[in-house]
Amino acid sequence: MDVWTNLRKILHVDMDAFFASVEQRDDPSLLGKPVVVGGRLNSRGVVSAASYEARKFGIHSAMPMAEVYRRCPHAVFLPVNMQKYQDVSKQIRNVFLTYTPMVEPLSLDEAFLDITASTSLFGSADEIALIIKQRIQQELNLTASVGLACNKFLAKLASDLQKPNGFVIVQPDRIYEFLDPLPVERIWGVGKKTAEQLHTHNIRTVRDLRNLQQGYLTQFLGVIGSQLYLLARGIDDRPVESDRIVKSIGQETTFTTDIADRDQLETVLLKLSIDLGSRARKVSLKGKTITLKVRFNDFRSISRSHTLTQATNLDDVIYQEVCHLLGELALKQPLRLIGITLSNLTDKEESQLSLFTERRHDSENLTKIMDFVKGKYGETSITRARLLRPKDHSE
């Protein structure tokens, strides 16, 4: 009897050093060189992606650019070209959708695929996984690492074990053999602090964890203990969710030097509001809740939110609200970072009578005209100017 009978067949596909690999593909002179994609070298930005040549120097995602330069001053530093990566990501997803509609993207460069029902059309699960890898290589000239297992947890673990260009299958009757030698840090939910707690009790591998009773783990670690008990046995019942709901859309920026001047901050907020509104309109979403996030130079962060009576994706509405929120913070320290998030999202049109309906329609019409001009002549062809500071709610 086939050990896969009556079990789900889940793939986790993870592109290898995605942003950096796309840049190396498009510029062959970068092949073999340490490539770092991220913020400007003289800024407070961080690494978005590093090629495998760069990783040999200990460079990894989210590392400050100054530290990258200290470790590898001869690296090739490139800015993030998000539009290019999004376009390539869509091409990759089209390959996935050839074999199953059950695709759950986790980010631009990784996704879960449920191919359980696909085997009757395209062959065995390992054949489908191999075909997907080959098509990505042949059609896009990029490599992907793939894990195949009976659930999401095991598939994701498998895809990470033989990077780059890996292909690992976790046979359902050999799950313990696969899991037992792995360090406990490989399990979801085991961060640095939890790992230290486990190590103090001489729990270092998944086998060590699996030998413990569920009651002991729950008493020792709380709610997460029950989760670790299941994962150490390879148990994960979560389905692949092909229609993931976008919960929020955000836009933020880190300053090269700290900013305390409110006029400067409002100018930055205007640009963020325009970018955020544009992103929301492109995916036909509106949000009721607008959140302002700020981070001080001591890395302390605070946020303030306001929920509207009617959902919006209009630049000027977003801008006015975040300016009100900024005023409410009464800042006394300069800021390192500022950001805006639109949440409580909907894709439905709301019908609501208001004294300000005519003004809102005027704003919507103006925004549509500006979107049209930008679409035809480019993003910089037309923009909004910050004229007057919005009045505070208390006025």
Told to judge if 110 belongs to the known catalytic residues of this protein, a careful annotator would answer yes
Domains contained in the chain, CATH given: 1-172 (3.30.70.270), 180-231 (1.10.150.20), 248-381 (3.30.1490.100)
Residues 118/131, Cβ–Cβ less than 8 Å: no
| pLDDT for residue 356 is more than 50 | no
| pLDDT for residue 348 is more than 80 | no
pLDDT attached to residue 374: 57
Which pLDDT band holds residue 385 (cuts at 50, 70, 90)? low
pLDDT attached to residue 61: 87
Token duo for residue 34: 């340490």
Mean pLDDT of 179-198: 90
pLDDT attached to residue 353: 44
Which pLDDT band holds residue 74 (cuts at 50, 70, 90)? very high
| pLDDT for residue 175 is more than 70 | yes
Which pLDDT band holds residue 379 (cuts at 50, 70, 90)? low
pLDDT attached to residue 206: 95
Which pLDDT band holds residue 124 (cuts at 50, 70, 90)? very high
Residues 269/389, Cβ–Cβ less than 8 Å: no
How many Å is the Cα radius of gyration of the chain? Answer: 24
Region for residue 63 given its phi and psi (left: phi exceeds 0; alpha: psi -120 to 50; beta: otherwise): beta
Sheet hosting strand 47-50, strand order edge to edge = 47-50, 35-38, 76-78
pLDDT attached to residue 217: 84
Report the 10 Å Cβ neighbour count for 394. Answer: 7
| pLDDT for residue 358 is more than 70 | no
pLDDT tens, residue by residue, 322-333: 999 999 988 888
pLDDT attached to residue 366: 58
Residues 302/250, Cβ–Cβ less than 8 Å: no
Token duo for residue 130: 């191999």
If one compares 95 and 382, the residue with the highest pLDDT of the two is 95
Residues 311/270, Cβ–Cβ less than 8 Å: no
pLDDT attached to residue 391: 46
Active-site residue, selected from the candidate residues 23, 53, 104, 110: 110
pLDDT attached to residue 354: 47
Range of weakest confidence among 58-62, 254-258, 348-352: 348-352
pLDDT attached to residue 377: 55
Between 223-231 and 214-221, two packed helices, what is the crossing angle to 10 degrees? 140
| pLDDT for residue 273 is more than 90 | yes
Range of weakest confidence among 168-172, 228-232, 299-303: 299-303
pLDDT tens, residue by residue, 126-153: 999 999 999 999 999 999 999 999 999 9
Mean pLDDT of 291-317: 90
Range of weakest confidence among 157-166, 178-187, 373-382: 373-382
- HSE toward the beta carbon, residue 386, CA cutoff 13 A: 18
Give the pTM.
0.67
Which pLDDT band holds residue 373 (cuts at 50, 70, 90)? low
Instruction: Specify the amino acid at residue 25.
Output: R
Any residues with CB less than 8 A from the CB of 221 and at least 6 apart, and which? 194, 197, 228
Mean of all residue pLDDT scores within the chain:
87
Of 143, 138, 147, 149, the closest CA to residue 165 belongs to: 143
pLDDT attached to residue 370: 57
| pLDDT for residue 65 is more than 50 | yes
| pLDDT for residue 216 is more than 80 | yes
Q: What percent of the chain has pLDDT over 90?
A: 61
pLDDT attached to residue 384: 58
